Structure 1
Amino acid sequence: MTKTLLSIVGPTAIGKTALSIKLAQHFDTEIISADSRQFYKEMQIGTAAPTPSELASAKHHYIHHKSVEDIYSVGDFEKEGITLLDTLFKTKDIVIMVGGSGLYVDAITKGLDEFPNVDPSIRISLNEVLKTEGIEHLQEQLKRLDPKSYETIAIGNPHRVIRALEVCIGSKRPYSSFLTSTNKTRSFKTITIGLTAEREIIYDRINKRVDNMIAEGLLNEVKGLQSKQQLNALNTVGYKELFKFLNNEWALEFAVSEIKKNTRRFAKRQLTWFKKNTDTFWFDYKTEIDIVIKDIAQHK
């Protein structure tokens, strides 16, 4: 029998976790998280990770299994995730994967491109430039060396910009030249389910979620991580804005408004990424679970 990975995608705050749990319970299976922010055990409130009751409702993998101080790449996730799937498929015909990190989803479903090894000192040097001259300087450098990557990667993410630049500099070739359209062969079939809604609804859900995070104690969570704010894992929406407040650069009200704004921008980028997959079956976020299950059955 063909083994099937059900990949649940969509913008943040759309209801992916709730759907994945319902599907896991229906198919008596387990869930792999492909949300790169939920990997870190110190980042619970600000990543909207599954609650203890949700974690108890279905077996989850890759939730709070790393520390912000750990070095953990999307390549590591691909290797571990495929190994885990091989194990799970020995006893399960269907496994659920859920997450809004498009690159991590693609790493499992399609595989990553192979990049050359580069001198580690290049990354160290670029990180120093980031500290002293800011991300704008690195963005301009990438625009000169690889205009295609400048237009396509998450240009506001320093980790992504530095990764592209170190490949450009180390290989003397554009980062984009290593990207291929060839997918790796997988031993399972993937059915991708996308959740969406009208933009105003998505934005409203995001704003309410941020308010809930603040009410649940996000500021205290961030305060506990202030001494580690230079780490890549913490350069993420919800944390970097509150660090600005804690560093007396911004007022709290402004920091919260920036979290909402940046999360809305992130949701827009997520939808752009996921819409590239023309094989995705899209559902309104309020679609009844029975309809989703029926659709899955038709495409297995």
Structure 2
Amino acid sequence: MNKVLISVVGPTAIGKTRMGIVLANHFNTEIISADSRQFYKEMSIGTAVPSDTELKSAKHHFIQHKRIHDTYTVGDFEKDALDLLDEIFKKKDIVVMVGGSGLYVDAVTSGLNKFPKVDEVVRKELNQEFDKNGIESLQHKLQKLDPTYYKKVDINNPHRLIRALEICIGTGKPYSGFLEKPKDQRNFKVLQVGLIADRSIIYDRINQRVDIMMQSGLLEEAKALLKFKDLNALQTVGYKELFEYLSGVWDLDFAISEVKKNTRRFAKRQLTWFKKKPDTLWIAHDYQNEDMITMVNKALLKLNDEE
């Protein structure tokens, strides 16, 4: 097995796009995006889609290839990404993947857990319960039906709670039980490279990025998408908060401060997720290109020696 997927991960605003391009150019290869919000054509500024210059500097896949009205699940992405990897690996030994969406990264690198199909009515009813009674109702229900998963999940993420409850209710079995089943094997090796910085630096970069997004027209982008605010694609930090301003609930300064706060919280969750993988090669965000390439090459040699 001499094919390797280099997966570049890390918190938002840390510089993953830049590192991915440097690696792709060095190894003369292509980039797969695993950022689930960069999939959508209508969302550019708020999702920090790579610039035209960046997109031209290396071949990218899965950037703005869907519409916000499309249903595109993590399972769909897993299948599409694996099919594309099979094609690219016919001509390249290394492919680079870049993204901060942990579930989407894991779907490609190690596979998704397989769950039985559940009647859509269950999810509909859970969404109605969430709208009517709030997140605490979902939290109590999951604690009762699957205490094991309740201890592990981000209990403030309604999408995760609803997904777990959907399986618990639809199958009569705990969601955590399905997580323990073996996943499909991959026909390539994975080197996960993580970008890291002191928390204060990450938070400063996030605050600066939000200011730049606002200067670049994020409010206008959100205004054009306001009528679609209930779509799943738009349940995204940066848009949700501005929709509150555009709907007259918050003033603009408060909405922007909430974007920054929620993005910082998201970055913290990203780091927690990616640090679960013990053999990640962590590299400081202010690396020199030559030093970074040297570190990656050493890690690749070690990976091959493990055969």
Please give the residue correspondences for 1:159-198 in structure 2 after superposition, counting only pairs within 5 Å: 159-180=159-180, 182-198=182-198
**Is 1:267 the equivalent of 2:267?**
yes
Alpha-carbon spacing, 1:234–1:154, altered in 2? closer, same or farther (3 Å): farther
Q: TM-score, normalised by structure 1?
A: 0.96
State the Cα deviation string for residues 70-119 of structure 1 (Å, max 9, x = none): 11111111111111000000011110001001111111110011111111
Q: Secondary structure at the match of 1:272?
A: helix
CA distance in 1 between counterparts of 2:163 and 2:79 reads 19
CA distance in 1 between counterparts of 2:40 and 2:232 reads 12
For residue 77 of structure 1, what is the amino acid of its counterpart?
F
The corresponding residue for 1:151 is 151
CA distance in 2 between counterparts of 1:211 and 1:151 reads 36
Q: Secondary structure at the match of 1:224?
A: helix
Question: Bigger shift: 130-139 or 39-48?
Answer: 130-139
Compute the displacement of 1:183 (Å).
Answer: 4.4
Q: Is the 8 A contact 1:30 1:58 kept in 2?
A: yes
State the Cα deviation string for residues 224-259 of structure 1 (Å, max 9, x = none): 111111111111111111111111111111111111
For residue 49 of structure 1, what is the amino acid of its counterpart?
V
Q: CA RMSD of the aligned region, Å?
A: 1.4
CA distance in 1 between counterparts of 2:112 and 2:260 reads 31
CA distance in 1 between counterparts of 2:129 and 2:25 reads 49
For residue 86 of structure 1, what is the amino acid of its counterpart?
D
The corresponding residue for 1:81 is 81
Please give the residue correspondences for 1:213-224 in structure 2 after superposition, counting only pairs within 5 Å: 213-224=213-224
For residue 62 of structure 1, what is the amino acid of its counterpart?
F
For residue 130 of structure 2, what is the amino acid of its counterpart?
L
CA distance in 2 between counterparts of 1:137 and 1:222 reads 30
Please give the residue correspondences for 1:201-240 in structure 2 after superposition, counting only pairs within 5 Å: 201-240=201-240
Q: Is the 8 A contact 2:17 2:50 kept in 1?
A: yes
Q: Aligned residues: percent identity?
A: 59
CA distance in 1 between counterparts of 2:52 and 2:180 reads 40
Q: Is the 8 A contact 1:88 1:95 kept in 2?
A: yes
State the Cα deviation string for residues 168-212 of structure 1 (Å, max 9, x = none): 110111211110274431111111111000000000000000111
Question: Bigger shift: 228-237 or 123-132?
Answer: 123-132
Q: TM-score, normalised by structure 2?
A: 0.94
Aligned residues: 300
Q: Secondary structure at the match of 2:6?
A: strand
CA distance in 2 between counterparts of 1:66 and 1:97 reads 18
For residue 151 of structure 1, what is the amino acid of its counterpart?
K
For residue 134 of structure 1, what is the amino acid of its counterpart?
G
The corresponding residue for 1:121 is 121
**Is 1:92 the equivalent of 2:92?**
yes
CA distance in 2 between counterparts of 1:115 and 1:157 reads 20
Alpha-carbon spacing, 1:151–1:232, altered in 2? closer, same or farther (3 Å): farther
Alpha-carbon spacing, 1:168–1:112, altered in 2? closer, same or farther (3 Å): same
The corresponding residue for 1:6 is 6
The corresponding residue for 2:106 is 106
Q: Secondary structure at the match of 2:192?
A: strand
**Is 1:72 the equivalent of 2:72?**
yes
Compute the displacement of 1:124 (Å).
Answer: 1.4
Q: Is the 8 A contact 1:159 1:232 kept in 2?
A: no
Alpha-carbon spacing, 1:42–1:153, altered in 2? closer, same or farther (3 Å): farther
Q: Is the 8 A contact 1:2 1:189 kept in 2?
A: yes
State the Cα deviation string for residues 262-300 of structure 1 (Å, max 9, x = none): 111111111111001001000100111212211222232
What are structure 2's unaligned runs of at least 5 residues?
301-307
State the Cα deviation string for residues 127-159 of structure 1 (Å, max 9, x = none): 222333333322332232223333323333332
CA distance in 1 between counterparts of 2:133 and 2:252 reads 26
Q: Secondary structure at the match of 1:230?
A: coil
